[in-house]
């Protein structure tokens, strides 16, 4: 299950990408270093790190997200 980084620029642009690990992914380091893909500005205003649970197989092995099929 890949770790994902969600980040937001002051212009409102948001991006999500996979990251190899959580290590070093602190706000102090990531926010100033991020460069916006829309306005090109360096420095993000918010970020979040999460596990990608979109993969149904990954979500079944004790993950916090339990899904019930809706038929
Ligand atoms: Zn921007």
Q: What tens digit of pLDDT does each residue of 3-59 get?
A: 999 999 999 999 999 999 888 899 999 999 999 999 999 999 999 999 887 666 655
Q: Cα of 52 to ligand 1 centre, how many Å? A: 24
pLDDT at 53: 79
Query: What confidence category does residue 60 fall into, taking pLDDT thresholds of 50, 70 and 90?
Result: low
Q: Cα of 32 to ligand 1 centre, how many Å? A: 13
Q: Cα of 14 to ligand 1 centre, how many Å? A: 8
Instruction: Tell whether the model's pLDDT for residue 64 goes beyond 70.
Output: no
Q: Cα of 19 to ligand 1 centre, how many Å? A: 20
Q: Cα of 11 to ligand 1 centre, how many Å? A: 4
The C-alpha atoms of residue 45 and residue 70 are separated, in whole angstroms, by: 37
pLDDT at 49: 94
Looking at beta carbons, which pairs linking 10-17 to residues 24 or more positions away fall under 8 Å? Answer: 10/41, 10/43, 10/44, 10/45, 11/36, 11/38, 11/39, 11/41, 13/37, 13/38, 13/39
């Amino acid at each position: 299950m890949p770790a994902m980084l969600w980040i937001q620029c002051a212009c409102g642009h948001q991006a999500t990408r996979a990251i190899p690990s959580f290590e070093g992914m602190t706000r102090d380091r990531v926010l100033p270093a991020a460069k916006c893909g829309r306005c090109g500005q360096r420095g993000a205003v918010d970020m979040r790190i999460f596990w990608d649970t979109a993969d149904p197989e990954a979500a079944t092995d004790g993950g916090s997200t339990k899904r019930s099929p809706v038929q």
